[in-house]
Amino acid sequence: LSSLKKFDEIKKANQAAAKKLVEDQLSSSSEDDDEDAEVKQGKILDKTFTIYTSQTDGDASELERTRQYMNEAFQSGAMTCLICIASVKRNQAVWSCCGCFCIFHLVCIQKWAKDSLFLVSSPLTDDDFGKKDYPWPCPKCRFEYKRSETPSRYYCYCGKVENPAVDPWLVPHSCGQICEREFKPSCGHKCLLLCHPGPCPPCPKMVTIACHCKKAKPVPRRCSAKEWSCRLPCGRTLLCGQHACENPCHAGDCQPCPRVSKQRCICGRQTAERLCASPQWQCDQVCGKCLPCGNHTCEQVCHAGPCGDCPRSGKRSCPCGKTKFTLPCTEDVPTCGDSCDKVLECGIHKCSQRCHRGPCEICRQEVEKQCRCGKHTKRMPCHKPYLCETKCTKIRDCQKHQCRRKCCSGNCPPCDQVCGRTLGCRNHKCPSGCHRGSCNPCPETVDVKCSCGKTVIKVPCGRERTIKPPKCKQLCSRPPTCHHSTQEKHYCHFGRCPPCRQPCQKTLTCGHLCPVPCHDEALVKQTGLHQSAGPWEQPSEPAFIRTALPCPPCEVPVPV
């Protein structure tokens, strides 16, 4: 029984190891760089674009942006989660932003949304905790999502299939079905590509549509570029009602009339040349017409319609507003002699002077005033504010620094210091104000180049140390290290060039040319350099050096 139990344990361990090996092979977006993988990738892209290109007669010029997103999905290390700065693998649950189409791990974006909602709805920063549906932003483009839109399940790019299976003949995280998402801006048609990352391409359907001014005959055009102009004059009547639009056929409303004409002001006293689009204008002269009372003139600036009654006619109130008088418009209203009783600027006390003209004085009554923080009281004039010298010791919303503001009311302002913590990329520091929780991902990108620098890929900052350099198709341009004038053709690479395989072709002493392969940089084993101290010392590995070997003896047969 013990042997059978041990056998079952070993069997389970072997099955788990085999399963992990298969998952590791499928997890990489593109682990091998051989030509077979490139051919396979090309077939998958062609299969994805087949229905779209059938509508465009093979024209794939509008698919470049979508093709770039799909190439990144296949390329190893190109798809990086900006939250944890780790590669996104085939067998991991992901979520794609609908604003910037950036891909994140599902668990990472869930944690990000939870932390963001906690920060904006914390009781320390807002009294409406739990009452409002606060949004949370995308880590890259800051596109806002509602709390109810927090992802909880793993879907493919088009959103039809939950937990799509890993298929080596499909785009990673794709279900393989037709996308069928509506185009943006909406035109009534749906995307024809297979489930894909990134934005949908422009609509390829053909529609028959007229120009903007409707003068030309309708023509068939691609739906994504259906708006067109016949270039004939527009001819629509402008807002001035006198002239027609002379611009070529255009979309939207016509521009204001550009012509100039002589126009009178509102009161009709002055005439000036002005744009036809703005016929009404006001001069700077006072009206000056005699009012119905016959004693005063209108003091309004250039206006339309009648001037109205004299503002000093009818019943008028005294300065304090308690008594009304009926007097001729030529006489001023006297003061009533009663107390003013208007509320002063303090909002508590009233003016104790008699009815008077002009503004009331400042409040001079002495009251017991409490400082803003509520810790001290003092007797002083009502109009003077009272601030004590006590500094606030409360912790600000960053949970790190004290407020330190004199006589603080308790509503401490946000922390004004810079965060300065090192970001996840280990290259830059957080430039935001001091805050709680984790910092935003580093927004910078870094160029990873090949050896010659002609092939470049952009990766998020911090990934340049772990990602493999791009595969370059340029030939190596380094000078040869042997006696040959040119070296064998090979692609750009890091490290030393491969050994030269060209025939030596040096002239031997007999006059013949050396036919053996180049031996200017042959690896030679060094022996006898180190003597062991005794049998207990471990033997060291032999050292190899590159050195030029002499040409071998000539083997050309000659008569003797």
Per residue in 23-59, pLDDT (tens digit) is 666 544 434 444 466 666 677 777 767 767 776 665 6
Q: What is the pLDDT of residues 63-101, one digit of tens each?
A: 777 777 777 666 655 678 888 888 888 888 999 998 888
Over range 274-280, report the average pLDDT. Answer: 79
Statement: residue 372 has pLDDT above 80: yes
Distance, in Å, from the CA atom of 191 to the CA atom of 174, rounded to the nearest integer, reads 15
Share of the chain above pLDDT 70, in %: 88
> Residue 66 in contact with residue 198, Cβ under 8 Å?
yes
CA dihedral of residues 305, 309, 312, 316 (deg, nearest 10): -120
One-letter identity of residue 119: L
For residue 471, the model assigns a pLDDT of 87
**Amino acid code (one letter) for 273:** E
Helices vs. strands in the chain: H and E counts, helices first: 4, 18
CA 381 vs. chain centroid, Å, equals 55
How would residue 132 be classed by pLDDT, with cut points 50, 70 and 90? low
Task: Check pLDDT > 70 for residue 193.
Answer: yes
Assign 182 to helix, strand or coil: strand
Name the burial class of residue 471, with classes exposed (0-12), middle (13-18) and buried (19+) by CB atoms within 10 angstroms of its CB.
middle
A 10 A CB-CB count for 111 gives 14
**How large is the average pLDDT for residues 459-484?**
87
154: confidence class by pLDDT, cuts 50, 70, 90: very high
> Tell me, what's the pLDDT at 192?
84
Closest of 316, 306, 382, 307 to residue 349, by C-alpha: 382
The confidence score (pLDDT) of residue 82 equals 85
Kind plus residue range of the DSSP H or E element containing 457: strand 456-460
Alpha carbon 515 to chain centroid distance? 63
Q: Determine the Cα–Cα distance for residues 255 and 128; give it in Å rounded to an integer.
A: 47
Q: Residue 110's Cα: distance from chain center in Å?
A: 19
Longest distance between any two alpha carbons in the chain, whole Å = 152
Residue-level pLDDT at 225: 83
Burial class (CB in 10 A: 0-12, 13-18, 19+), 196: buried
Asked whether the CA dihedral 25, 28, 29, 32 is positive or negative, the reply is negative
The label of the residue with tokens 């995307």 reads: 191
For residue 359, pLDDT beyond 80: yes
Mean pLDDT of the region 506-525: 87
- 206, 186 Cβ separation under 8 angstroms: no
As a whole number, mean pLDDT of residues 322-346 equals: 85
Return the higher-pLDDT residue of 151 and 23: 151
**Distance in angstroms (rounded) separating the CA atoms of residues 33 and 168:** 15
Residue owning tokens 């739990």: 130
> If 0-12 CB within 10 Å is exposed, 13-18 middle and 19+ buried, where does residue 203 land?
buried
Instruction: Give me the helices (H) in 2-149, please.
Output: 2-27, 35-55, 64-74, 106-120
Predicted local distance difference test score (pLDDT) of residue 126: 44
Give backbone dihedrals phi and psi of 355, rounded to 5 degrees, phi first.
-45, 125
Q: Which helix (H) or strand (E) holds 448?
A: strand 445-449
- pLDDT for 364 equals 85
Give Rg (Cα) of the chain.
Answer: 42
Is the separation of the CB atoms in 157 and 96 below 8 Å?
A: yes
CA distance 405 to 390: 8
Question: Is residue 533 over pLDDT 70?
Answer: no
- Please provide the distance, in angstroms rounded to a whole number, between the alpha carbons at the two ends of the chain: 85
Q: Tokens for 199? A: 């934005």
- Cα–Cα–Cα angle for 470, 24, 173, nearest 5°? 75
Per-chain mean pLDDT for the chain: 82
- All structural domains of the chain with their residue ranges: 43-118+131-209, 372-414, 418-481+489-495
pLDDT surpasses 60 at 202: yes
N residues, the chain: 560
Q: Please report the beta strands in 167-268, taking only residues with DSSP state E, as ranges in sequence order.
A: 206-209, 219-222, 260-264
**What residues are paired with 433 via a beta bridge?**
418
pLDDT value at 451 more than 50: yes
